[in-house]
Amino acid sequence: MIVGVPRESYPGERRVALVPSVIPNLKKVGLDVIMEENAGLEAGFPDADYATKGAKLLKDRGEVFRSADIIAQVLCYGSNDKTGKADVPLYRRDQILIGFLRPLGTLETIEDIARAGVTSFAVELMPRTTRAQSMDALSSMGAICGYKAVLVAADTLPRLFPMLTTAAGTITPARVFIIGAGVTGLQAIATARRLGAVTSAYDMRPAAKEQVQSLGARFVELPVEAKDAQDAGGGGGAADGQAADVHGPPRGEPRATVGAREQQVGVARATSECHAQHVEEDLRRGGFDGRIQRRQAQRFPQQ
């Protein structure tokens, strides 16, 4: 069988689905690898690295799809809502597609893939179990998103994160409020703390309080009934480390409290399930009348 890796076509996407170091392992189990030229260049892997490990390089993207039995992409059609549909005519029947698909997004994308006769595997639906830990792409990418979100915020905020004592006086540290303390949120908390910001966080799951405090952040208590806000799982923690669907953001007093908390901070990072418009509404409700600058992360499935 042949594994094909096309170059990512989503604007600004720098990742690649396959790195050179795994090619020998694939060849040991009888899989050949073909790559579109420059597929790994933006990720720091030139074509020569792939060729040295035994991959075949092809100039034509269409030839990669025609020759491969398995297509590996980072953002497949579904996650890639800008240029992904251009790949659909290149699919062939009985082909296997592996990557981020965002299957719970729009039904149309899944139907298009099914009509092409392609079997697709969405890596974001990989169960978070011990056996599947090495394939948990969603958690690893989520951690990177949390880290990067704080770096972008630090660059955007017109003040410094850490407290600085200089001959001219003392600069107080920035205040960061993290809404949602899942995999992404916890990494955001850790990064903000390392940069020297005064950090607080909120999550509807009771188990998150200890995790937030272990990172040195203050946990914000809200009068919200949270017994159903945690996925089923043993040991007091969510089975997948994330909050369950609680049918929308908290209303009334809880949201007003969040808004009052947000207006005291310079940076608010919201969970993937918290719409930016709700965060902005809470900021205004809490009395914040300054300039709100919204920065949205690069397209990432379920995040």
The confidence score (pLDDT) of residue 68 equals 98
pLDDT, one tens digit per residue, over 203-243 is 988 889 999 999 999 998 876 655 555 554 444 444 455 55
Task: Note the pLDDT of residue 162.
Answer: 96
Q: Return the pLDDT at 243.
A: 59
Structure tokens that stand for 243 in this block: 């909050």
Q: Report the predicted TM-score, pTM, of the whole model to 2 decimal places.
A: 0.79
Q: What is the pLDDT of residue 222?
A: 76
Q: How does DSSP classify residue 151?
A: H
List the strands of the sheet with 198-202, edge to edge.
218-219, 198-202, 175-179, 267-270
Write down the pLDDT at residue 242: 57
Q: If you classify domain 2-125 with CATH, what class do you get?
A: alpha beta
Phi, then psi, of 115 in degrees rounded to 5 = -65, -25
CATH number of the 135-285 domain: 3.40.50
Question: Do 2-125 and 135-285 fold alike per CATH?
Answer: yes
Enumerate the domain spans of the chain: 2-125, 135-285
Segments in the chain below pLDDT 70: 223-303
What pLDDT does residue 97 have?
98
pLDDT at position 292 is 54
**With contact defined as beta carbons under 8 Å apart, do 172 and 189 qualify?**
no
Residue spans of alpha helices (H) in 157-290 = 183-194, 208-214, 253-262, 276-285
